[in-house]
Chain A
Amino acid sequence: MGLAKRIIPCLDVDGGRVVKGVQFVDIRDAGDPVEVARRYDEQGADEITFLDITASHEDRDTMVHVVEEVASEVFIPLTVGGGIRVLEDIRTMLNAGADKVAINTAAVHNPEFVRQAAQRFGSQCIVVAIDAKQVSVEGEPLRWEIFTHGGRKPTGLDAVEWARKMVDCGAGEILLTSMDRDGTKAGFDLALTRAICDAVSVPVIASGGVGNLDHLADGVTEGHADAVLAASIFHFGEFTIEEAKRHMAARGIEMRL
C-alpha cells in the first residue's frame, strides 16, 4: 500500500497531429492530440506527456492550443516537452495548463537554465529529459553518454553524472530515454535505467524501446523506474493503458486501477 508506479503515454505532436516516433521509417498519423489524450484519460493514464517535435514557430502556437484544450477537460497531470528554451516558454506552457515542462537540449547548452527554471517555477514542474546512448564497448564497464539532436550528436557528458547534476540544479524529475532502444520495441535499456534511478533522489521516468507489456513491468522491477513511458504500443490500439496497468499489477507492481 502506498505510492503507485505510473504509466505515461507519450504523444509526439507535429503540426498539431500525433505522429508515431520519428525513428520509424513509416510515419503514421495517429490522430488528433486532444482526442488521443481524452482516450488515454478514459483508459486510466496516470499522466500524459506531449513532445512537440515541430520545427516552426506557428506550429508552436498550435501546441499551446492543444494543451489549453486538453487541460480544460482532462484532469490528470500534463507534461509538455520539445522546444523549451527560455523561461518564457515555460510560463506559456504552464499558463496553457501544463503541470510540468520537459527541458532537454537547452539544459545541455546551459545547465543554469534548469536552475533558473526551478527557482522561478518550482522543482515540481521541471522535468529534465535525458537522451543517453551506450558508449562503452564490450568488456568495458557500462557507460552511457548524453546525445542531442535525436541521438546524432554526442556531448561527451556521462549520463549518470549528468543526471545527478540536473537534480542538483533543481530538476524535480528525470525523463530518461535510451537512444539505442528508442523505436526498437526491444524493451528499455534496463542497466541504464537502473544506473540512473539508483543514482538520483528524484523520480525517474523510463522511456525508449517498449514493445510489449512485460517491458513496462521490467522497467519498474529491474530498472527501478518510478514511471514508464510509451507511445506506439498505445497509439494504434495494440494495447490499452488499462491492459498495461492490469498486467503490471499482476506482476506485483502497485498501480492505480
Chain B
Amino acid sequence: MSSVALIDYGMGNLHSVAKAIEHAASAGTRVTVTADPAEVARADRVVFPGVGAIRDCIGGMQTLGLDEAVRRAAESRPLLAVCVGMQALMDFSEENDGTSCLGIIPGRVLAFESHMPAPVPGASLKIPHMGWNQVHHVSDHYMWRDIAQDSRFYFVHSYYVEPAGADVIAASTAYPVPFTSAIARDNVFAVQFHPEKSQHDGLQLYANFLAWNI
C-alpha cells in the first residue's frame, strides 16, 4: 500500500486538496492529512499545499517542525508543492515586508503589483491574478502526462515565483508577461495554480503525481 501525506500546518482548509487526491488515487493509496513530522517522514509521497500569508505559513511550519520534514522529503521522495507551498520552497518572498522561506529551490517570490506592467497603457493589472489561465509546458515532464499543452488551470495569487535558474522551470503562464507557473527539480514538482480547483486536468495532475516514479 502506498501512502500520501498532505501537510497541514493549521492555516486553512485542506478539504478540497484531500478530496481531489482521494478522487485521483487508486484503492490502494492511503491519504493522510497531518501536522506530524513523523507521519510526513513515513509517507511515500508528500503534498505541501499552501494557504494564507507566507509568513504564517513559514512560521507555522517551523513551530510544528514541518520545515525539516519538507526539506527531507525534498531530498528523497516525490514532493508536490501547491500555490503558497511552491512559494515557500524558494529563498525569499517579498510578502509581509520580506520573509525568508525554506530555501529548497534557489529563487525569489515577487509581487505582481510592483513587478508586472499594465496589460494596456493606462489600465491597471487586476490583482489577485484570479481565474483560469493557460499553463505552457516548458519541459516534457511525467507530471504533464495526458494534459494538453496550454491547458487552463485555476489560479489565485498576488505573488509569483522567479527561480534563480531557468533549468527548473517546468511551465510558464502570461499575466500579462510570462512568469513561472510550475517548477521541476529531481523529485520535487511545484505549481502556482490549484489543481484541486482545476477540474479534469487538475485531477489528472494529482493522478500523475501518485503514479510518478523517480
Contact = CB atoms under 8 A, between A and B. Distances in A.
Interface in B113-172: 124-134, 150, 152, 154-158
A2 B176 CA distance: 7
Interface in A81-111: 94-97, 99
A76 B133 CA distance: 14
A72 interface: yes
A52 interface: no
Interface stretch (A23-31, A118-126, A229-237): A118-126
B128 A75 contact: no
Which of B12, B15, B19, B152 has its CB near the most chain A CB atoms (within 10 A)?
A: B15
A181 interface: no
Interface residues of A, number: 32
Interface size class of B (residues with CB under 8 A): 35 or more
Nearest to B136: A1
A97 B132 contact: no
A99 B130 CA distance: 12
B172 to A, nearest CB: 11
Contacts of B174: 1-2
B175 A3 contact: yes
Contacts of A172: 128, 130, 156
B199 A94 contact: no
A97 B16 contact: yes
Contacts of A75: 16, 19-20, 23, 196-199, 202-203
Given A99-B197, A226-B126, A4 B52 contact: no
A94 B13 contact: yes
By secondary structure, the B interface counts as: mixed
Nearest to A95: B13
B55 to A, nearest CB: 12
B132 A124 contact: no
Q: Which of A1, A75, A95, A172 has the most CB of B within 10 A?
A: A75
Interface string A1-32: 11111100000000000000000000000000
B211 interface: no
Given A75-B203, A122-B51, A122-B52, A226 B131 contact: yes
Contacts of B203: 75
Interface string A44-56: 0010000000000
Contacts of B132: 3-4, 6, 46, 256
A4 B133 CA distance: 6
B104 interface: no
A237 B85 CA distance: 41
Contacts of A1: 134, 150, 174
A25 B52 CA distance: 43
A95 B15 contact: yes
Contact of B131 (A71, A96, A122, A203): A203
B53 interface: yes
Interface of A: 1-6, 41, 46, 68, 71-73, 75-77, 94-97, 99, 121-124, 172-173, 201-203, 226-227, 256
The 9 closest A-B pairs by CB, nearest first: A256-B132, A97-B15, A256-B152, A94-B13, A4-B132, A3-B133, A124-B156, A2-B174, A203-B126
Interface of B: 12-13, 15-16, 19-20, 23, 51-53, 124-134, 150, 152, 154-158, 174-176, 196-199, 202-203
19 contacts: A1-B150, A6-B131, A73-B19, A75-B19, A75-B198, A77-B197, A94-B12, A97-B16, A97-B19, A121-B12, A122-B12, A124-B128, A172-B156, A201-B125, A201-B126, A203-B126, A203-B130, A226-B131, A256-B152
